[in-house]
Amino acid sequence: MSYLKTSIEYLKGVGTARAELLKKELGIFTFTDLLFHFPYRHIDRSQIYAIKDIQADLPYIQLKGKITNLHTVGQKKGQRLVGYLTDDSGSVELVWFQGAKWIKESIKEAKTYLVFGKPSEFNGSINMVHPTIDDADAADHKKYLHIMPFYSVTERMRTKGLDSKVLVKLTNNLLADPKFNIEENLPNAVISALKLMPRKEAFLQIHFPQNAAALAAAEHRLKFEELFFIQLRLLRFKIKRKEIYNGIKLEQIGDNFNIFYKSYLPFELTGAQKRVIKEIRADVKSGVQMNRLLQGDVGSGKTVVALLSMLMALDNGYQACLMAPTEILAQQHYQTICSLLQNMNVCVRLLTGSTKTKDRKEILEGLAAGNIHMLIGTHALIEEVVQFKNLGLAVIDEQHRFGVEQRARLWKKNQFPPHVLVMTATPIPRTLAMTLYGDLDASVIDELPAGRKPIKTLHQFDSNRLRLYGFMKEEIAKGRQVYVVYPLIQESEKMDYMNLQHGFEEIIKHFEHPTYQVCMVHGKMKPADKDAEMNRFVKGQAHIMVATTVIEVGVNVPNASIMVIESAERFGLSQLHQLRGRVGRGAEQSYCILMTDYKLSTDAKLRLKTMCETNNGFEISEVDLRLRGPGELEGTAQSGVLDLKIADLAKDQLLLQQARNAAQDLLDKDPELKKPENLQLMHYFAEYNRNAHWGRIS
Ligand code: ADP
Ligand code: MG
């Protein structure tokens, strides 16, 4: 068995007790696991500062000099030990609140010390509290003069004496062993073209760097490697899938598509919509299964693209389905599509969790017999019992709320897997798209339908509420309608309902009946009541709708021109953007007004500023990624791809693109990875595929 696969208890300095801790607390089972437990930061002790150069805002620094005049000052709790460290350039105060006795006894005035700590400012002068002190005259003092790694450990490890310092020793034992070796896994061509540090060197330098430049090069190499293999795997998967799965050939463009396009499409398609339809058309007639991701901002018109694609399937004698993440959204799609197709001979049905048993039975029979051409629904669509006669295309709206497994289950509905079109509701950052959906082909609708005026977004403090009400009255006088949305965040549900109720009463007070009609919608209402209230707004009978985020995806009222978002600081960026997308659907100028208190966190300020500055969902998603990190973005947590050890999708965009290009390039030249120069890589890649938790990403 190879050295790196050795169980961790056999490493010098570990033993059974520490091995238990390492396994339980950090998931370190083998030498390799320890090797991959990268330092979370390094501290540069290779430099020695002159005392005259110290400033209070410096990070940890190292000084060298003599310590004199140790004495105790203060009373009781304020009591502390103070001394002075002096070098050729000056002196600085050192302070200890604890361990005074031990320090006093061990420090000798004649000796020279290496003093390491963080300068801080106290009463206008600089001092260093609880510095680390090492004997500069000792024979082994050189061991302190390097860049030191710091490793994360848990509280439990620390109380048992297994802290970062111990991990430094253990890692050193691992790397210093003559048996330590780690093979290169990238082809030489890639290493030299991108000037990457060799692999073994990178592992040595990431833990114990010689200098800052070596550390940076090591990080760069290891990040590249991590991203490269993810991309290689995704791209390989894409090639393989195209080999394995014969796609259904949708060759014809027939009556369904043509008649709809010529006679019933209520508007001219945008250039972007046309381009995407062409891309889809090329896919579905190619004989290879389509797996395409369609990204487009709120309101960019993805639904009609989905509909036209489904009509292509129908024209070739196949069925099509459209799956949405919520009941409201499925219903909305169903209504939209039924009304668009009302004069055509297409049988469309809706299947959701609340479909009545009798209807359900009839739908299942109709699907199996092929009488139903188009099925719209929720998760209910992918249940085993739902069997199509011949499903040709599956459209999945708002992919990021569906697990990838669910996507895979759709394929199993046929002898040949249907073509799959995935539509994202909110744009996602490029790096995330490339990683989460790197095996898919991508299309983007980057153009809004003509005639839309960009929504004006403003941030207002609560104290300006009366002005807001005045503005709302002006717009209502012009015949417009207004949304007022309150946050509803689960932990504080009760509070949120109180706020909603209070807000509603406040509005009713200022917008008096019967001049103004106000309706209210929230998730706890009975469906019938909710529908009734919504309908009042949709029909224009109510001027103001006070609501929780249930309206995020639910309604389409082009006459609404103001979206007021209360406590806007409590919403995430993508949610704010989604809510804003409810207005700006008609020809009139629309407004989104973000109401907040004066007290705002830095992040909240950035979110509000971003909203005020841009209407572009892609830009917003990039900021969101930077603020929250990939793991926190909605729906991405369950994806194993994002357990990155060292790369960071928010920061390493360029590197990711390089990695993807390099992987693509490699596969272009050697699709099966069989060339001799790629032997090492293939060897590593095979093992990588066995170990990774990739089941979730197919
Ligand atoms: P989303 O991409 O957010 O799903 P929708 O498909 O719901 O957007 O479209 C938003 C609105 O824009 C709908 O009312 C739709 O009818 C309209 N729309 C879509 N495409 C066009 C177009 N090319 N010209 C004018 N209006 C369009
Ligand atoms: Mg949509």
- State the DSSP string of 512-558: -TTTS-EEEE-TTS-HHHHHHHHHHHHTT--SEEEE-TTHHHH---T
Q: Is the dihedral of CA 447, 451, 457, 462 positive or negative?
A: negative
d(CA 180, CA 350) in angstroms, rounded, equals: 62
The CATH fold of domain 255-284+301-424? Rossmann fold (3.40.50)
Neighbours of 54 (CB within 10 A): 17
Distance from residue 235's CA to the centre of ligand 2 (Å): 28
Among 303, 453, 580, which residue has the most ligand 1 atoms within 8 Å of its CB, making it the best to mutate? 303
Low-confidence ranges of the chain (pLDDT < 70): 1, 139-144, 245, 399-415, 425, 489-492, 551-555, 630-642, 692-698
Which SS3 state, helix, strand or coil, does residue 28 take? coil
User: Which ligand number lies closest to the CA of residue 326?
Assistant: 2
Mean pLDDT in the chain?
88
pLDDT of residue 653: 86
For residue 287, CA distances in Å to 257, 311, 321, 649 come to 20, 18, 20, 34
| Tokens at 201, concatenated | 């060197």
- The CATH 1.10.150 domain(s) of the chain lie at 3-43+152-176
CA distances from 7 to 27, 179, 201, 224, 389 (A): 12, 15, 23, 28, 54
Ligand 1 atom, smallest distance to 269 CA: 23
CB of 300 sitting under 6 A from ligand 1: yes
Dist. CA 482 → ligand 1 center (Å): 21
Q: Atom 26 in ligand 1: which residue has the minimum CA distance?
A: 449
Closest ligand to Cα 397: 2
Nearest in space to 638 (alpha carbons), one of 570, 561, 695: 695
CA of residue 147 to ligand 2 center, whole Å: 52
Q: Is the CB of 307 under 6 A from ligand 1?
A: no
Tens digit of pLDDT for each residue in 397-454? Answer: 876 555 555 566 666 666 678 898 988 867 778 787 777 777 788 898 988 888 888 8
- The amino acid at 38: F
Among protein residues, the one with the nearest Cα to ligand 1's atom 17 is 301
Structural domain 3-43+152-176, CATH architecture = Orthogonal Bundle (1.10)
Q: How far is the CA of 680 from the centre of ligand 2 (A)?
A: 46
Could you please state the CATH topology (level 3) that the domain comprising 47-145 is classified under. Answer: OB fold (Dihydrolipoamide Acetyltransferase, E2P) (2.40.50)
User: What is the per-residue pLDDT for 534?
Assistant: 85
> 97: which 2 tokens?
């609140």
265 CB under 6 A from ligand 1? Answer: no
Give the per-residue pLDDT at 1. 58
User: What are the tokens at 52?
Assistant: 């005259």
How far is ligand 1, taken at its centre, from the CA of residue 391, in Å? 26
Ligand 1 neighbourhood includes 580 CB (under 6 angstroms): no
Q: Is the CB of 449 under 6 A from ligand 1?
A: yes
Task: Give the residue from 290, 268, 269 showing the smallest Cα distance to 279.
Answer: 290
pLDDT value of position 432? 79
Residue 562 near residue 595, CB atoms below 8 Å: no
Residue 201 has a pLDDT of: 96
Q: Which ligand is nearest to the CA of 556?
A: 1
Write down the pLDDT at residue 697.
35
Q: Where in the chain is the domain with CATH 3.40.50.300?
A: 255-284+301-424, 456-614
Torsion angles phi and psi, residue 154, rounded to 5: -90, 165
Instruction: Tell me where in the chain the CATH 2.40.50.140 domain(s) lie.
Output: 47-145
Q: pLDDT tens-digit profile of 603-633?
A: 999 999 999 999 988 889 889 888 877 665 5
Alpha-helical runs (H) found in 184-254? 188-193, 199-207, 212-244
Is 582 close to ligand 1, i.e. is its CB under 6 Å away?
no
Residue 611 near residue 594, CB atoms below 8 Å: yes
Residue 698: what pLDDT?
33
CA of 185 to the centre of ligand 2 (A): 43
User: What is the identity of the amino acid at 291?
Assistant: N
From the CA of 452, which ligand is nearest?
A: 1
Ligand 1 midpoint to CA 262 (Å): 17
DSSP strand pairing (41-44 vs 147-150):
antiparallel
Enumerate long-range contacts of 50-54, CB under 8 Å, 24 or more apart. Answer: 50/87, 50/88, 50/89, 50/90, 51/85, 51/86, 51/87, 51/89, 51/90, 51/91, 51/92, 52/89, 52/90, 53/89, 54/92, 54/119, 54/126
Pocket lining: 273 vs ligand 1, CB cutoff 6 Å? yes
What per-residue confidence (pLDDT) applies to 694?
Answer: 44
Whether 405 and 425 have beta carbons less than 8 Å apart is answered as no
Report which protein residue has its CA nearest ligand 1's atom 18. Answer: 301
Question: Which residues neighbour 230 within 8 Å (Cβ) at sequence distance 6 or greater?
Answer: 435, 438, 641, 659
302 lines ligand 1 (CB under 6 A): yes
Query: Which ligand 1 atom is the nearest neighbour of the CA of 268?
Result: 23
With the most atoms of ligand 1 within 8 angstroms of its CB, the residue from 265, 267, 297, 553 to mutate is: 267
Q: What is the DSSP letter of 479?
A: T
299 C-alpha to ligand 1 centroid (Å): 5
Topology at the third CATH level for domain 456-614: Rossmann fold (3.40.50)
**Which atom of ligand 1 lies closest to the CA of 581?**
3
Q: Ligand 1 pocket test: which of 276, 300, 447 has the largest number of ligand atoms within 8 Å of its C-beta?
A: 300
CA 245 – ligand 2 centroid, Å: 29
d(CA 112, CA 102): 18
Cα(461)–Cα(557) distance, integer angstroms: 27
C-alpha distance from residue 536 to each of 480, 503, 551, 555, 654 (Å)? 14, 19, 14, 12, 50
Give the separation between CA 670 and CA 678, rounded to whole angstroms: 9
Query: How many angstroms separate the alpha carbon of residue 302 from the centre of ligand 2?
Result: 6
Of 639, 660, 643, 695, the C-alpha closest to 400 is 639
Contacts of residues 325-329 at CB distance under 8 Å and 24 or more positions apart, as own/partner, are 325/378, 325/379, 325/397, 325/398, 325/401, 325/402, 326/378, 326/553, 327/352, 327/353, 327/354, 327/378, 328/550, 328/553, 328/554, 329/397, 329/398, 329/553, 329/554
Could you tell me the two tokens for 279? 């891309």
What does the alpha-carbon distance between residue 264 and residue 190 come to, in Å, rounded to a whole number? Answer: 54
Write the pLDDT tens digit of every residue in 144-159: 677 889 999 999 998 9
SS (H, E, C) 288-324: ECCEEEEEECCCCCHHHHHHHHHHHHHHCCCEEEEEC
C-beta of 269 in contact with ligand 1 (< 6 A): yes
What gap in Å lies between CA 359 and CA 100, rounded to an integer? 81
Measured N-to-C along each axis, helices 573-580 and 617-628 cross at an angle, to the nearest 10 degrees, of 160
Nearest Cα residue to 524 out of 568, 554, 494, 504: 494
What distance in angstroms lies between residue 153's CA and the mean position of ligand 2's atoms?
45
Bridge pairing between strands 374-377 and 419-424: unpaired
| Closest approach atom of ligand 1 to CA 451 | 25
